[in-house]
Every structure is written in C-alpha cells, then in structure tokens.
Amino acid sequence: MVPVLTRVIRRSWRWSAAAAGGLLLTAASVLAQPPAGAAPDGFVPISQLPPAHRMPAAPLLIAAYAFVWVALLVYLWTIWRRLGRVEGELKQLEKQ
C-alpha cells in the first residue's frame, strides 16, 4: 500500500512540476511583450536612445556566457551521475 502511495505521489508531483513549467514558459513569453502602443514607429538605433532607456549590456552578456557554461557542465554532470548508477546496477547484475 505504502509503495503504491509513494509512487502515486511521486508521479503526480512530476506531472504538476511539468505543468507548472509549461505554464511558466507560456506566461513568461506573454509577459515579455511590450505594452500595446509602446512600440516606436520605426527603428531607433541604440546610440540614439536617451540614456534612461539604455540598459547596460555587460550584465546580460556575462549572464549569457555563464548560462552556457553552467548548462553544459550540469548536463555533463547529469550524464556522469546516470552512468554511475547504471554501471552500479550492471556490476550487481553481473555478480548475480
């Protein structure tokens, strides 16, 4: 009874997390839109924008590069972790 309950809780938690992730992704892209009417009539080069409207580029550039590094390292680490687990199982099965 308890393992079944644990499995059901785990599964529903995963589905809820996936649904929440999907909702967040959709909401983020909708919220990222500029408010209606705020769009300029034509293209305005960054150099001609008033200083108050300019955003410093360096933090976003650093964030982008840091994200790439972290994403690749985390992915490599997850492969290594999964591989370790599978190889552990393999050794156990080969012993049996």
Partner 1 sequence: MRRLFGPLLILSVILFAAAPVLIAQAPYEQTMGLIQKIFYFHVPAAMMMMLSSFICGIWSAIFLLRKKPEADRIAVAGGEMVVVFGLIVLVTGPLWARIAWGVWWVWDVRLTSALLLWMIFCGYLLVRKYGGPGADKLGAAMAIFGMANVPFVYISVDIWRTMHPKTTVVTTLGEGMAIPFWFCVFAFLVMYALLFTARVHLEEQRARVEQLFLEAGDL
How many of the chain's residues bind partner 1 (CB under 8 A)? 34
Contact with partner 1 (CB under 8 A): which of 3, 5, 34, 42? Answer: 34
Handedness of CA 74, 28, 42, 62 (dihedral sign): negative
Contact between 37 and partner 1 per CB under 8 A: no
Contact with partner 1 (CB under 8 A): which of 10, 17, 19, 82? Answer: 82
> Whose structure tokens read 């190889």?
87
Site for partner 1 in 38-77 (CB under 8 A): 45-47, 55, 57-58, 60-61, 63-65, 67-69, 71-72, 75-76
C-alpha pair distances (Å), 35 with each of 24, 25, 52, 56, 63: 19, 19, 18, 22, 25
Token reading at 85: 């687990």
Contact 54, 46 (CB under 8 A): yes
Q: Which residues bind partner 1 (CB under 8 A)?
A: 18, 29, 32-34, 45-47, 55, 57-58, 60-61, 63-65, 67-69, 71-72, 75-76, 79-80, 82-83, 86-87, 89-90, 93-94, 96
